[in-house]
Structure 1
Amino acid sequence: MIPLAAVPLVVAALATPAQAAEAKPPRVPVGTTAAWVVFDRQAGKIVATKNAHRKYRSASVVKILIAIDYLERRKSVPSADAGLLKIMLRSSDDDAASAFWDRGGKGQIITRTARKLGLSDTTPPPASKPGFWGYTSLSAYDIVRTYRYLLDTAAPKVRDTILGHLRQATPCGTDGFDQTFGIPDALPRPFAVKQGWSGFGTTPPLRCDAKATAAPMSWVAQRATGSGVPDYGRPVLHTTGLVGKGERYIMALLTAQPVGSTWSSSVKRITSLTRDLYRNVS
């Protein structure tokens, strides 16, 4: 089998003038920095791209890499850890991610997975912040490559566990934030998603689920300077996953929102961008 790292993400051929007129790229709101890559699995090529290699802080999207590393280093998964994987991937639980992060050697998890998957833009958090898994740097290109690895190369137990949970992502994160922005709100089912958000504090403006437990103290609540962290001081909001009939498209849309943005305004911006991006390729 040819290693995934040796297989490039082919970019679609340039469109004709008529096609270009019909398919205009989404307009990024003023003050927002956006990057995206959409890979068409049926055509075998990238069909939309912008700032593909721009680095963003990962927020919770890194939980996919944490899960890959954990599963590929074990022959079996204890029931307690299976429960942690489930809540980490479906409901973006931070405490579960921190447990795996500490056990896996923190930044070594990112070094191992980046090397194995051929992720050129993915690096661990700064050495001064080893516990901040959400400060991992990554790009839209690398996220798409990660989903391709899961679909085409990973062992069935790894692929089925991770994508199985992402296909059943819950509307609410365990921290009380509504994680239906972007792909879930903008696109029709079916889809499998992993969302990411950072810089909006630990208390959502309106709890997604009144029955949820109090938001845990996690990496987003910690105090630190921003040296070496992409877009530190700006909220980031990311939506990624498999979309379309037969999960035809792999989509990664990363955004750094304007300083001081509210949760509601940021959610509206990324959801609108997601809808326009999908219309542009489907």
Structure 2
Amino acid sequence: MPDGVRASYVVFDRTTGRVVAERGARRVFRSASVVKILVALDYLERNKPSASDRKLLTVMLRSSDDKAATAFWTRGGRKQIIERMVARLGLTETAPPPDEKPGFWGYTALSARDVVKTYRYLLEKAPKAQREFVLAQLSKSTPCGTDGFDQTFGIPSAAKRPWAVKQGWSGFGDVPAEPCRGRSAQQVAYRPDLGIGRPVLHTTGVVGDKIVVVLTLQPAGSSFRAASRRVTELARQLV
């Protein structure tokens, strides 16, 4: 990674139950859309989804739809979602957004180690219906998010299928400089350093028998294209 890029990663081999590569596993980043996995799990564990909510969950997980995430975030009690998931999954570096930004779900703090724990919970402990639904959506990640950003950086470009991924991005503006041309779906006391003011770009997911998590804080002013190249190259080295 170039100077100015802060990167953490963990590769967990499910066949051996061992971490096979890691760097800065407990370093904290703001989650961006990676938190949508926790939002979905929290909702599914407390509710039997209606047909309309299943559609919202689908677009949130496949195409990273922010409006859908905000709807579930508000209904779930905002930071209470994170508090419940931290307790249930045994997360240690994950924390709700700052008190002055309660509606900013993307400002949830998390670490690469905790994202691995989240995927392990999903794969090993979540009820079968929840596991199958969430993984089905993540395995159908659309090339474009509903906000027009390209979701194919990192794992989708670096690894052969089968994979199931949840990407995250924040700080590149509301509208991408280069709109994605693929297809998208329809439309506390602990105060960690979230790198606010600098872009983050994350790629996480299940790749074959491994869980791969790459979290990055990019230099201020980085373009989405340049950051995507960096993350994809790192993901390629790991997978």
TM range (shorter): over 0.9
SS of match in other structure, 1:258: coil
Spell out the pairing of 1:207-218 with structure 2 (5 A cutoff): 207-209=179-181
SS of match in other structure, 2:149: coil
8 Å CA contact retained: 1:106, 1:131:
yes
Q: TM-score, normalised by structure 1?
A: 0.81
Higher Cα Rg: structure 1 or 2? Answer: 1
> For 1:188, which of 141, 156, 160 is the aligned residue?
160
8 Å CA contact retained: 1:126, 1:229:
no
Q: How many residues align?
A: 236
**Match of 1:171?**
143
Spell out the pairing of 1:36-115 with structure 2 (5 A cutoff): 36-74=9-47, 76-115=48-87
**Match of 2:213?**
252
8 Å CA contact retained: 2:28, 2:193:
no
Distance 1:82 1:129, change over 3 A: same
Corresponding letter in the other structure for 1:81: D
**Match of 1:265?**
226
8 Å CA contact retained: 1:135, 1:229:
no
Question: Could you tell me how far 1:212 is from its partner in structure 2?
Answer: 6.8
SS of match in other structure, 2:10: strand
**Match of 1:132?**
104
- Confirm whether residue 158 of structure 1 aligns to residue 130 of structure 2: yes
Distance 1:152 1:207 in 2: 37
Runs of 4+ in 1 over 2 A off after TM superposition: 209-213
Distance 1:188 1:210 in 2: 18
Distance 1:64 1:210, change over 3 A: closer
Distance 1:106 1:132 in 2: 9
SS of match in other structure, 1:122: coil
**Match of 1:233?**
197
Gaps of 5+ in 2: none
8 Å CA contact retained: 1:125, 1:229:
no
**Match of 1:242?**
206
**Match of 1:219?**
none
Question: Could you tell me how far 1:211 is from its partner in structure 2?
Answer: 7.9
SS of match in other structure, 1:38: strand
Gaps of 5+ in 1: 1-27, 217-226
Question: Could you tell me how far 1:29 is from its partner in structure 2?
Answer: 1.9
Distance 1:43 1:228, change over 3 A: closer
Corresponding letter in the other structure for 1:265: A
Corresponding letter in the other structure for 2:21: A
8 Å CA contact retained: 2:5, 2:219:
yes
Distance 2:182 2:223 in 1: 20
- Confirm whether residue 32 of structure 1 aligns to residue 14 of structure 2: no
The CA RMSD over aligned residues, in Å, is 1.7
Q: TM-score, normalised by structure 2?
A: 0.95
SS of match in other structure, 2:195: coil
> For 2:172, which of 194, 197, 200 is the aligned residue?
200
Deviations 1:196-245 (A, max 9, x none): 000000111121138879xx9xxxxxxxxxx85511111000000011xx
**Match of 1:18?**
none
Distance 1:132 1:61 in 2: 13
Corresponding letter in the other structure for 1:237: L
